[in-house]
Structure 1
Amino acid sequence: MDGYKVAELFSGAGLMGGGFKAAGFRSVFAAELDGKAVQTYNKNIEPVAEKWDVSEVKCDLKYDVLVAGPPCQGFSTLGRRDPKDVRNALSLKVFDWAEKHRPLVVVIENVPQFLNSDYCRELKERFEKSGYDSVSWLLNAADYGVAQNRKRSFTIFSLIGLPNKPQPCKERVTVKEAFSGLPKEANGENFHISPTPSELALARMKLIPENGDKRDLIKKAPDLCPPSWIKMGAQAVDVWGRMGLEKPANTIRCSFQSASKGRYLHPTENRVISLREGARIQGIPDDWSFVGDRTSIARQIGNGVPVPLAKAVALSITDLLKRRSSY
């Protein structure tokens, strides 16, 4: 392997870094404010992550590719989409790092709505003035070997030409395939951990069929439902929803161990999915170890880019770098 070097901003627990590592890159630095995520990164990628505020550009770094996943809450449709959200402006810090270190390629990952933001337009103007060409992709993780529908945007800035968009896989991975080999019981081994449901929660779970959700409870046992469910009716239908075995899961988020937050019930068992099952849906290898309590680990898993999707992007960047070196 050519040994291309990558640095990361907003690195999280290293899922994007894991994809680049799988594509042959070597991480030389990663900046992240979550201390537990930093420890997880250092255990599984390279011991180069630091608890670091990206507002301060680190000196004396040399790398070929800069990767950044700025906070998406201010852009996401799940949030308020507040244009004044102070977290939005953090995306502009990526340019400061690129201007300082002049990497050949910069990759910014975010929710699809980021592409329509003023911040994205501002970044493209700044990078263009600095000599970078750009291209943006909208990619669904389910098209790249991930058992999950998760759409993300990738904006690539390059000094050496533009990469080709990753080619989708021919077949999609199902939840059944992702969970293959794991005990149905969350036995606590290797982060196969799921919270024990309360008496009320268990009673609800027993009445929800595969692919079912709170609507089944409203029909079968309205006495088990809070008044707000009856009032809302068909809204938020993924709440208290079971995953389907024969298709990819919905997007896994930080709160995937709470049945009230989405379609996070195991397809057949009366529990929410375990940490390891969530990791499987994110394409995280089983030999990964996590640092933190259950809530922290779920956040580390749910916040990241699925590893196979990150690898697909990294391989496209590798091809670009190889084309450049062959001239």
Structure 2
Amino acid sequence: MIHSDKISVSKDQVLIGATDLKVVDFFCGAGGMSCGFSQAGVKVLAGIDIEKQFEATYLANHKDAKFINENIIQYQPETLRADLNIDRYDDNLIFIGCSPCQYWSKINNNRHKSSYTNNLLYDFQRFIKYFMPGHIVVENVPGLLKEKNNHVLLDFLDFLTFNGYKSEYKIARTDHYGVPQKRNRFVLIASRIKKFISFPEPEVRKDMTVRNFIGKHKGFPVLPAGNMDPNDFMNSTASLSPKNQERIKMTPHDGGDRMAWKDNPNLQIAAYYDKDHYYRSIYGRLWWDRPSTTITTRFIATSCGRFTHPEEDRGLSLREGATLQTFPKDYKFKGGLVSISKQIGNAVPPEMARRIALSIIN
């Protein structure tokens, strides 16, 4: 069973020479990919991100790496080469590209803002063309495979083939890769030096449940809504309005949803009158014995999905969300409540990243 306190790497999983590999994590965010690759024995050289707010978190956990706060559109490969003193055509170099994905996501509230993210894969491609690293990893939303977005992916695949890369991609369910969460992700692995790409083997396991990762029995304290712990800020939870407190108290434990109070005129939400099939997960509780729903950037808000604790009358704490993302319990997050929840929700689950790294090492 996977230990939720800290995911360890056994000696037989990291082969001799693994430390020769090194990675540059583009669009690194809080460092989920960097965390997983580091756990697998790969040296993390740097994380690159336009968001300054990620810097403190990234450097707190990757002390030997650099954080490069640059807009990838303006940043130049030659500058990166000077900043990190890295060579071109290095077989041991890995480039990771997990670009923001609003344009390809099902959740797309701002089309103008999201259109900016549509071209980031092309900008990542500029760095690949200049450096020609030994390996490439791309992680994104499954929407990248939709017909309207196919030209972006097909252009990228053609570019890889033309430049001598062998590549494979798939839609991966995170609960088949050690993450207790229903989350489908597009994953691409490419190599210039290998003839065969090996994806990590999926595991269909019954222990990928909320119960096996969080709860009092796992060392998580019982907390009230609106808790702000000065000694451990990660035990913080979002506050609730009096009406939302009533809603949650009426929601049955272990998977209950808003149907429990839909006929209460004081609690029912006007937009959902006679629309029981609309967004039933809103204000819903997680199930103990199922994977969590996708941990989004707003997982601390009970009104934004099924993010209510299975039995306590509150939303998830920051640390609970991070643990369901498979961040180690000693991973340090810097910032306020909203900033940290965004960092956690945007991250690639480290355990999935670790398994991708091991597949490259092997």
TM-score using structure 2 length:
0.84
Offset of 1:190 from its aligned partner?
A: 5.1
Size of the alignment, in residue pairs? Answer: 318
Question: Do the aligned partners of 2:177 and 2:202 also contact (CA within 8 Å) in 1?
Answer: yes
Q: 1:147 aligns with which of 166, 180, 184?
A: 180
Offset of 1:119 from its aligned partner?
A: 0.9
Matched, 1:69 2:69: no
Identity over aligned residues, as a percent?
29
Cα deviations by residue, 1:210-235 (Å, 9 ceiling, x for unpaired) = 2111222204x232122112153311
What is the RMSD of the two structures over their aligned residues, measured on CA atoms? 1.8
Question: Do the aligned partners of 1:254 and 1:302 also contact (CA within 8 Å) in 2?
Answer: yes
Offset of 1:196 from its aligned partner?
A: 2.5
Where does 1:1-327 land on structure 2 (aligned, <5 Å)? 1-2=16-17, 3=19, 4-46=21-63, 47-55=65-73, 56=75, 57=77, 58-60=80-82, 61-62=86-87, 64-79=93-108, 85-116=115-146, 117=149, 118-160=151-193, 161-171=195-205, 172-179=207-214, 180-185=218-223, 188=229, 189=232, 191-209=234-252, 210-219=254-263, 221-319=264-362
Cα deviations by residue, 1:143-164 (Å, 9 ceiling, x for unpaired) = 1221111110111221122321
SS in 2 for 1:224: coil
**How far apart in 2 are the matches of 1:154 and 1:28?**
22
SS in 1 for 2:37: helix
**How far apart in 2 are the matches of 1:248 and 1:222?**
32
**How far apart in 2 are the matches of 1:292 and 1:204?**
29
SS in 1 for 2:188: strand
Question: Do the aligned partners of 1:44 and 1:289 also contact (CA within 8 Å) in 2?
Answer: yes
**How far apart in 1 are the matches of 2:196 and 2:358?**
13
Offset of 1:45 from its aligned partner?
A: 2.1
Distance 1:110 1:275, change over 3 A: same
Offset of 1:103 from its aligned partner?
A: 0.5
Distance 1:281 1:93, change over 3 A: same
TM-score using structure 1 length:
0.92
Name structure 1 gaps, 5 residues minimum: 320-327
User: 1:324: which partner in 2?
Assistant: none
**How far apart in 1 are the matches of 2:111 and 2:191?**
30
